[in-house]
């Protein structure tokens, strides 16, 4: 394992105190190539903490710790505690299981929520989004332009609350239905965030903390966020 190369990556990525989608992918690729034993994994973990400690002496600690937590999810994923336990789960509608899962993740988010959903009209969810924004969670929302201003759409409400919203202006439908919470947990499936999805449709949501999978979706979110115009 080339420790100097890893140190250089950590210094580079710590420069702006954030771990972007492309930086996550770079770390994933580096780890897959260079970390093949538990000893190497331990060395990587130790050098990550050393890089963070050095940065803490130079600037505010909060941003550094946020970076550290995100990077640890890539380099040293949390292992399941029990034999046979899964880091993923699924729920289905009709019924309120999917609704409860979404609301629970929004309530428990502490730093960031990235939402990429075709349409959002369920006030039971929207109320929690606005409440999370008011308590200081950084929220970004991407949705489809043809659905953003449908009757019942909560996009105008989000914008009025000061939540950044981007709408798709491409010739394609923005048909994703996923959300990432604190960079550590993701919901993804067919379920739109509507009352109809809960009461009338057969839908699904997968709930996962798979770091590699989340990294892929975060990269897609960031690419869409940069490439699409802000809602007016």
Question: Any idea where the domains of the chain sit in the sequence?
Answer: 3-75, 88-227
Known active-site residue 122: no
48 vs 225: CA distance, rounded Å: 29
Active site residue 182: yes
Kindly report the CATH class assigned to 88-227: alpha beta
Specify the pLDDT at position 228. 53
Element (H, E) at 51: helix 38-56
Per-residue tokens: 84: 């046979």
Half-sphere exposure of 104 (CA within 13 A, CB side): 10
Confidence (pLDDT) at 122: 94
Which of 73, 105, 147, 177 is labelled catalytic?
Answer: 177
pLDDT at residue 187 tops 80: yes
Catalytic residue among 175, 210, 219, 222: 175
134 is a catalytic site residue:
no
Q: What is the pLDDT of residue 57?
A: 62
Which helix (H) or strand (E) segment holds residue 187: the answer is strand 185-189
224: number of CA atoms within 13 Å, CB side? 27
pLDDT at 86: 43
10 Å Cβ neighbour count for 222? 16
- β-partners of residue 189 are 205
For 119-160, the pLDDT digits (tens) are 999 999 999 999 999 999 999 999 987 777 777 789 999 999
Would you say the pTM of this structure is higher than 0.95?
Answer: no
Write down the catalytic residue from 122, 144, 168, 182: 182
pLDDT number for residue 71: 72
Is residue 93 within 8 Å of 197, Cβ to Cβ? yes
């Amino acid at each position: 394992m080339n420790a100097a190369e890893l140190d250089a990556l950590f210094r580079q990525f710590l420069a702006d105190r954030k771990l972007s989608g492309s930086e996550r992918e770079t770390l994933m690729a580096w780890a897959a190539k260079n970390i093949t034993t538990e000893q190497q994994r331990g060395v990587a973990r130790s050098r990550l903490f050393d890089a963070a400690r050095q940065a803490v002496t130079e600037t505010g600690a909060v941003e550094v710790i946020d970076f550290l937590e995100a990077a640890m999810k890539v380099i040293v994923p949390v292992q399941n505690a029990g034999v046979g336990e899964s880091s993923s789960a699924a729920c289905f509608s009709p019924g309120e299981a999917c609704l409860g899962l979404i609301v629970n993740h929004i309530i428990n988010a502490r730093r960031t929520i990235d939402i990429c959903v075709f349409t959002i009209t369920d006030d039971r969810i929207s109320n929690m989004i606005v409440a999370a924004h008011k308590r200081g969670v950084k929220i970004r929302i991407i949705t489809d332009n043809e659905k953003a201003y449908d009757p019942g759409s909560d996009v105008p409400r989000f914008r009025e609350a000061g939540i950044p919203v981007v709408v798709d202006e491409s010739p394609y439908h923005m048909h994703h239905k996923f959300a990432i919470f604190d960079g550590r947990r993701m919901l993804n499936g067919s379920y739109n965030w509507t009352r109809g999805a809960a009461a009338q449709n057969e839908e699904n949501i997968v709930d996962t903390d798979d770091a590699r999978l989340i990294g892929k979706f975060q990269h897609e979110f960031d690419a869409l966020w940069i490439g699409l115009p802000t809602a007016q």
